[in-house]
Amino acid sequence: MAMDAISVIRSKRDRAALTDEQIDWVIDAYTRGEVADYQMAALNMAILLNGMDRREIARWTAAMIASGERMDFSSLSRPTADKHSTGGVGDKITLPLAPLVAACGAAVPQLSGRGLGHTGGTLDKLESIPGWRALLSNEEMLSVLDGTGAVICAAGDGLAPADKKLYALRDVTGTVEAIPLIASSIMSKKIAEGTGSLVLDVKVGSGAFMKTLDDARELASTMVGLGTDHGVKTVALLTDMSTPLGLTAGNALEVRESVEVLAGGGPADVVELTLALAREMLDAAGLKDADPAKALADGSAMDVWRRMITAQGGDPDAVLPVAREQHVVVAPASGTLTRLDAYDIGIAAWRLGAGRARKEDPVQAGAGVELHAKPGDTVVAGQPLLTLHTDTPERFGYALEATEGSFDIAPAGTSFTASPVVLGRVD
């Protein structure tokens, strides 16, 4: 059946549901290069504005899976469990979580991505470790997984190649937030990856792509349905992203904080969410009797981390990069910090060099924002509130614009109730 990109774009522009044939053709043609980036960008924008129904999303996801190969982990002696976050600010949870779940008996084939917009990317963070490699062949991935219990790497070129192109395009065309594109992007990779079970961390709040609980629940339900329909046991946690997770947003900064968590310390919110997701992953993998808190406390999770980093060419003992320049933002008044906006902090970190404006841009390993207080803390006028890190000090002015309205300080004694880390569950 004859197809062309303009007709498909017009269909969705005019709010029509795309046919199965249109979806199959446009995904295949884009993967082969017959449909140009600017044409797919136009279609993505039409999807963002006009949406897709459940049949369209299911078919789009199936077409993405069919664009490449399927992986098989049936040779492993452990049950497989994976996790995916929809993206947040300071969201370094994958780093301590993967080795923690592996230390409890599951195999964790964690295919991760790079930064999208104001959100950080797991691969960008780990690449701040000298020597660490994100790109592994399928054979290397299986070898690391079999030998250490966990692997964090990029999806290979053969795994949902349509998504690899679309993922980078969405980041630079203002179409990241489209629920159909988010759901199909995540689930096409995870289903093709071959994991037996999947736990989704769907972020809610200013620093998330889903700003409201209703939107986050819709995305979670869509993805849980896609996973279940493809035989992957899938559950989702809805988690707060109104405030950055932990005390850092950047690349090397977040690796450093993740190692603190694996060493038995780290910020309370990072530890809480890591353990909550670990319990869900272990339960989904049939290992509900395992105790992730014990594996974090006794050092076994740290042992897996060190083996995993070493197996991928990294040096777990190497000194992490530090930005050449710092700028301190001080509290303008004394009182109780009642708000620290995740989106504003994410934009500041991005402007400092922790993220990219174009898909081919490099990121600065040491760039980002360090937090010295979180909502609920008492602050004193003049004390450090944020430290901005970058190798290029000309970026400070632009980043400071993002931080100007990023926090509120109420008079001392003002009552404050923090939002819970976990806001809900979808299965």
By annotation, the residues acting in catalysis are 84, 163, 170, 185, 189
**Taking the CA of residue 286 as centre, how many other CA atoms within 13 Å lie in the half-sphere pointing to its CB?**
6
* Tokens standing for residue 262: 């694996």
**Helix (H/G/I), strand (E/B), else coil: 78:** coil
CA 27 from chain centre, in angstroms, equals: 24
Q: Which of 336, 86, 129 is nearest to 251 (CA)?
A: 129
Task: Output the CA torsion sign for 166, 168, 170, 173.
Answer: negative
* Rg, Å, the chain Cα set: 21
- Report the C-alpha gap between 1 and 219 in whole angstroms: 33
Question: DSSP class of residue 238?
Answer: E
Q: Which of 355, 380, 375, 376 is nearest to 365 (CA)?
A: 355
Helix 54-66 vs helix 213-229: crossing angle, to nearest 10: 50
* Tokens standing for residue 133: 């490699």
Residue type, 295: A
Query: What are the counts of helices (DSSP H) followed by strands (DSSP E) for the chain?
Result: 16, 13
- Report the C-alpha gap between 115 and 314 in whole angstroms: 21
- Report the C-alpha gap between 173 and 176 in whole angstroms: 8
Contact of 64 with 162, CB cutoff 8 Å: yes
**Helix (H/G/I), strand (E/B), else coil: 328:** strand
Instruction: Using the structure block, give the residue that is written with the tokens 């740290």.
Output: 302
Beta bridge partners of 426: 236
Distant-in-sequence, close-in-space partners of 109: CB < 8 Å, separation ≥ 6: 71, 73, 80, 82, 141, 145, 151, 193, 194, 195
- Report the C-alpha gap between 168 and 185 in whole angstroms: 11
Backbone angles phi, psi at 240, to 5 degrees: -75, 135
